[in-house]
Chains A and B, each alone.
Chain A
C-alpha cells in the first residue's frame, strides 16, 4: 500500500468498514510511514477533542423567544405569499388613510368626482365640491397626495387612483 491508497481508504478505516485484510495492510503501511502515522494520530486526537468539547446550550430565553415567534406564526395566515400580504396591507392602509384624509369631517364635507376616463394607476385630478358625503366610483381607492388638500375643500386636488377589482 502507498500513501495515496492509505488516504483513499482512510475514511472506511475510521468507520471500521474495511475488511480484515485491508485493515492489516493499512496498519502495515502506517508502521513504516511516519507521515501517514502522523495523519492518523492527528485525526484521532482532533476528533477526540472535538467530541469532548462541551455542547453549547441554547440561551435561557430561547424557549420564550421561540414561543413568541410561534404565536406570531399562529396569527399570520399560513401559506399566503409575502408579496400578496404586503399588497393587501398596502391597499388596506391606503384605503384607511384615504378615508381618514378625505372622509366627511365636521362642517366641511366634500365630494370627489372621478372622471369617467380615469386610467388605472395613473394620477388624476379630482374636483371637490361642498356636499354632505364623499363620492367616487366604488372601484377606485382615492389616495390624496398630501394633507394640504384637506385645508382646501372645494378646490381641485391631485390624487393617485388605484383600481379595485369588483
Chain B
C-alpha cells in the first residue's frame, strides 16, 4: 500500500507534486474531498515546514512543535469535509496550528514537569559543541551566528503569548492583518494594537544586546 504522505526529500518527483503542484490550495482541497488521497500529500508538503517554524517560534520547543504539526495534519485530515471552502485553507490550517500552540503553552504553564523538560532540552541545544553546527564557517563566525540566533529567539520568547503569535504571523509568515484577525479570532483593532506593542517590545528587548 502506498504511503499517504511522502517525504519530499526522498521522492522529489512524487506523483502528487506533478499532479497538484501548480494548483491553488482550494483546488487541492477539492481534489482530496473528491477522493484523491494524493492531494493530501500535496497539502502536507506545502505546509509542513511553514507550520513547524510557526509553532516552533511560538512555543520554543522543536520536538514538541513537530508533534503539534502532526496533530494539526491529523485534524485537517479528519475535519476537511467540514471546512468552509469560501475561506482560505491557509488561514484555517494556521488557526488549527495556532490553537494547538496556545493550548501547549497553557498546559505548560500548569505543568512544572513539562516546563522543566523544555528548559533541559534548550540547555542541551545551547551546549552542543560548535563543530557539529556548520563545517563551512570559522568558529568565531559560528559563535556570532549562534549568538545572534539565540538572541533573536530569546527576544521573541520574551513577548507575552498573545503578542508573540501575532508578531510571528506577521513578521515571519507574512500574514495580512485580516488573516491574523481570523487566525487568532480577534478583531482588526486588537491585532493592530498587539502587533504594535509586540514590535516595539521586541525592539526594546533586543536593543541593549545589539549595541
Contact = CB atoms under 8 A, between A and B. Distances in A.
Interface of A: 7-8, 10-12, 14, 38-43, 45-47, 49-51, 53, 55-60, 62-67, 69-71, 73, 78
B188 interface: no
A-B pairs, top 10 by smallest CB distance, nearest first, are: A42-B207, A11-B196, A43-B203, A63-B5, A46-B206, A42-B203, A67-B3, A63-B7, A67-B5, A67-B4
- Classify the interface of chain B: helix, strand, loop or mixed: helix
Contacts of B206: 42, 45-46
Most buried by A among B7, B10, B56, B202: B7
B155 interface: yes
Interface stretch (B22-30, B45-53, B84-92, B104-112): B45-53
B119 interface: no
Contact of B49 (A10, A40, A56): A56
B210 interface: yes
Contacts, number: 109
Contacts of B10: 60
Contacts of B18: none
Contact of A49 (B149, B192, B195): B149
B203 A40 contact: yes
Contacts of B148: 49
Given A39-B207, A62-B48, A63-B6, 8 more contacts: A12-B196, A46-B202, A46-B210, A47-B171, A55-B49, A60-B7, A63-B44, A69-B70
24 contacts: A7-B200, A10-B199, A12-B196, A38-B211, A41-B207, A42-B204, A43-B202, A45-B210, A46-B202, A46-B210, A47-B171, A47-B202, A50-B156, A51-B171, A51-B172, A53-B152, A62-B48, A66-B70, A70-B5, A70-B74, A71-B4, A73-B74, A73-B77, A73-B78
Interface in B130-168: 148-149, 151-152, 155-156
Contacts of A59: 66
